[in-house]
Structure 1
């Protein structure tokens, strides 16, 4: 079991409202408003023609290059802002139902998306900021996650394998990983330094480290647990984080979050969330906190790491109907869950700096994008999707 953000019914028809002003500039850079913009908090008049879809529109992922410029994607649409959410533009509407978007710069981008509800996930790419998308050759692999190191270098992760390309997807090569790998991560452009999370039935998890592109692996951490489904790995600079799932039930999730500040030499158990529905959290020993963000029973979302010290974890609680973040500014030595004040049960974050970040929230009646300038203590709504 690997809890993911909920996927929603996906259907829409193509409508592109993007004008290219200067050659070589991206879609967001070209959509400049001549009059002084008025900062709004509603839907900004966008996506009105998509309100006749069978399912309400929902944001599934966000990606920000800096504090001002970024995008939000969902079931059949991509929108963007270049002035910190003061105004937004429609970049794409059409068949693609986005699950994950990544932009290494303001022109080139990649995404995992479905062409229609129930279809297999595809890797697609854009060369004009997101207004047009085309499938990328993936050698027959169905990727569950991707990482983009530059406009040509990608790593694609399947349920049991890792593959790399250095030419934008024209050719792929497999990266060797340990047996029973459920999550992997390679973060350097040379694709030499990597991490793998493996499961051992009725035993728990092991985290492995490689410094030679997967040719050899060494054990970095063992985590005892009777239940081991999978998890996620994150790394930036010298810090490495491992999210490991326990069981789930009654809208609750049990999980543990581990952190290392020295590339896996020493580890700290940061969060150990045990729940009535999910049972004990993986691992043994004390943890800094016994609840994750947006408790009770909050579901962990994605993490965002900045440099060698800063880490954020998104969280949403179906039981409480709230969403928020937890954070550390010292590489996991300490941890605090910011009180969850936003309505929602699902959350995705993108933090381009240590205190300023963006959060997309989905609730039963709303899907919105918020910005914070104080690490999640306070949030300002910058966009709210029109609902049926």
Structure 2
């Protein structure tokens, strides 16, 4: 009976021990939960908030702005293939930071690698297709997104932490090539921003412009016009207030398009795109390193199915790039430029050629690579770069080069395209 009288105290003591043990157990964090970053933002289009997930993570000319790495956190190294967290298909954009790091984008997504393309981390997921990516450095980058509900409209996305967060800056004024000189100063064709893309002003252009204008900086810009079987390359040094003709070429071919890139205030590489026929496109490439005073004919790709290269007679014999159609033009510096070639009728249609001396000579690569829809080219320097093939029915493949495009090594196969 005495033991029964003490029974409530014993029970109370046992309850206290069990409560303390349970409290210690509940306070210990789960290792699985602690390793996961919190979800963020919606896929909205406003200027505030983040789009996609919070998983962390050149240019016409390499970025000249200040490096933000001292104030922004460095992106983490990818720890698993992106295929485990989302499909990487329908690739449409690529941009290098250096030979080991860079971004790719596709139909509604952006991913980053920091190990030379072996593994990728998905950083952005949305409704809009990614048309371009531009990197000022490893932290500051921008992307052009084509609106899913209106393909005539584009928005500018931006990251300042290596891609850990992407946000919508605002609408883009055109579909031109975007490039930034600093975190605030950038260009899109003949449009100019001084506030990181929030607002834009446009430079004046003359009539008969073919393709997009290209402005290296707020003073120096280039355009191509075509009139009466003549092609004119024009330059401005006063921000579009006046334009001076610096190159005139008679042409037998109709001019259908242009691509202009620059690696300096006095530098310009001008690609002229002519007629197409029989799965062939004729094109030419010119280069100046002294503001247009002197020009070097770099390429003259005349074809049987599409006629003479723009600005050249049909029988002109000059440097010729491999392939029956032009691929991507990528300028490294005033001496070095690369250009892809594409042959739809070939089993392995993609090639890469380059010039080491400002266009005086042209060196065609040794390999032909698969990819029925062409390839995207991006170079880090005169020796190292990436080539990503595209295919409507097969996975894209990323290749790297360390010898200036003479040889390419496959390093990653992306996901199977959706049917």
TM-score interval, normalised by the smaller of the two chains: 0.7 to 0.9
The match for 1:319 is 345
- Choose between structure 1 and 2: higher strand proportion: 1
1:155-181 C-alpha deviation (Å, 9 max, x unpaired): 122xxxx11111112332221222122
Contact 1:199 1:228 in 2 (8 A): yes
Query: How many residues are treated as equivalent by the alignment?
Result: 349
* 1:294-313 per-position Cα deviation (integer Å, ceiling 9, x unaligned): x1x1x222222222211111
CA distance in 2 between counterparts of 1:230 and 1:245 reads 5
Deviations 1:322-359 (A, max 9, x none): 21211001001111221342112412211111111111
**2:332: which partner in 1?**
306
Which residue does 1:384 correspond to in 2?
413
CA-to-aligned-CA distance 1:241-299 (integer Å, 9 cap, x gap): 1110111122211111112232211112221112233222111254532x323x1x1x2
- 1:343 alignment partner, one of 355, 370, 374: 370
RMSD: 2.7
SS in 2 for 1:256: strand
Change in Cα spacing, 1:121 to 1:249, as seen in structure 2 (3 Å) is farther
Match of 1:245 among 273, 287, 291: 273
In the alignment, which residue of structure 2 is the partner of 1:16?
Answer: 53
8 Å contact kept, 1:17–1:90: no
C-alpha contact 1:231 1:244 (8 A) present in aligned 2: yes
**5+ unaligned residues in a row in structure 2: which ranges?**
1-42, 45-50, 58-68
5+ unaligned residues in a row in structure 1: which ranges?
1-11, 35-43
Higher relative contact order (CA 8 A, sep 6+): 1
Range with greater deviation from structure 2 (357-366 or 280-289): 280-289
How many Å apart are 1:64 and its aligned residue?
0.8
SS of corresponding position for 1:59: coil
Which of structures 1 and 2 has the bigger CA Rg?
Answer: 2
1:31 to 76, 85, 101: 76
Matches within 5 A, 1:1-388: 16=53, 18-19=55-56, 24-25=71-72, 29-32=74-77, 45-48=81-84, 50=86, 57-116=89-148, 119-127=151-159, 128-138=161-171, 141-157=173-189, 162-182=190-210, 183-188=212-217, 191-200=218-227, 202-225=228-251, 226-237=253-264, 238-284=266-312, 286-289=316-319, 291-293=320-322, 295=323, 297=324, 299-320=325-346, 321-344=348-371, 345-364=373-392, 365-387=394-416, 388=418
Cα distance, 1:17 vs. partner? Answer: 5.8
Query: Which has more helix, going by share of residues?
Result: 2
Alpha carbons of structure 1 residues 203 and 72: separation in structure 2 relative to 1, 3 Å: same
Distance 1:31 1:352, change over 3 A: same
Query: Is the CA contact 1:252–1:278 (under 8 Å) kept in the aligned structure 2?
Result: yes
